[in-house]
Structure 1
Amino acid sequence: MPTGARLMAAISLAVLAFILSGMVVPLMPESTDFGYFLPLNMVLGLVVGWRVMGRRAGRGTTAAINNGLAGVFVLMLWAIFLQAANEMVRLALRNRYDDPFEAIVAIFQIGAEFGVMIATVPMGVALVVGAVISGLLTEFAYNRWS
């Protein structure tokens, strides 16, 4: 059921995904073709905010902060997974894998490489601050419009 908290969670995570995606671009090699990187991450932020954070709003300030941290964690996991799967498909179309199992394992290897590339202090700070703000905004929306 649509609520103000779900809408606020979706919008705040989409904005955070936009900011974080902008921070990731300079961390990747120059030859990287980003394609639908930014829109995909923003849509993912909308979905995760709506489905994960929005449904758990209304439990207090501490729970709101935890809700924001959990939402951002899920957002990062899905974003890294989808980008790694996209990269695996790109490599598979160039016949880099001998069998399907090798390609599936490559998703997790590529995802781990992406995770190491973006594991920087500014990203960590942006993740934590964005998570806290998103959680508190979602809680505010719940208290205001519910």
Structure 2
Amino acid sequence: MPTMGRLIEAILFGALAWYTTTLIAPLFPEGTNLGYFHEVNTVFGLIAGWSIAGPRAGTGYVAAFSYGLTALVAMVVMALFFNSFVVMIGQSLLKRYDGPGEAVTDVFALFVEHAAMIMTPQILATLLIGGFVGGLITEFFGRRFS
């Protein structure tokens, strides 16, 4: 059921995903076609905010840190996995793999590679602060409008 907590958390995590993606985009090599990178990551932010953190709004400000961080980790894992999967599909269409097992294994290698790429202090701080603040704001609205 739609609640104010779900709506606010979806908007906040969507915005956090969009902003973080703008910080990540320059880390890719020059000339990399990012396609719908911003939009896809924003959708994962919306999903994480709506389905993970939003339903927990109204459970207390201490819990807000927990569900803000949980939604943040879920958003990052979903985005990393999906984007790694898309890169693998592109490489498999170029026949870079000897078989499907190698392609599936490479998804996880790409996941780790992309995760290492975004491990900069600016991006980590943005994500952590955004997750905690998003949880607190959601808790505020969840208590007021539930």
TM-score using structure 1 length: 0.97
- The residue that corresponds to 1:43 in the other structure is 43
Once the two structures are superposed, residues 41-71 of structure 1 have per-residue CA deviations (whole angstroms, 9 ceiling, x without a partner) of: 1111111110111112211111001111111
Structure 2 letter corresponding to 1:112: V
- The residue that corresponds to 2:102 in the other structure is 102
In the TM superposition, what are the counterparts of 1:106-145 in structure 2 within 5 Å?
106-145=106-145
- Structure 1 runs of 4+ off > 2 angstroms? none
Once the two structures are superposed, residues 79-102 of structure 1 have per-residue CA deviations (whole angstroms, 9 ceiling, x without a partner) of: 000000000000000001111111
1:101, 1:57 → 2: CA distance? 42
SS in structure 1 opposite 2:58?
Answer: coil
Cα deviation for residue 112 of structure 1 reads 0.4
2:55, 2:108 → 1: CA distance? 29
- The residue that corresponds to 2:88 in the other structure is 88
Cα deviation for residue 144 of structure 1 reads 1.2
1:52, 1:101 → 2: CA distance? 32
Cα deviation for residue 31 of structure 1 reads 2.9
1:101, 1:31 → 2: CA distance? 30
- The residue that corresponds to 2:67 in the other structure is 67
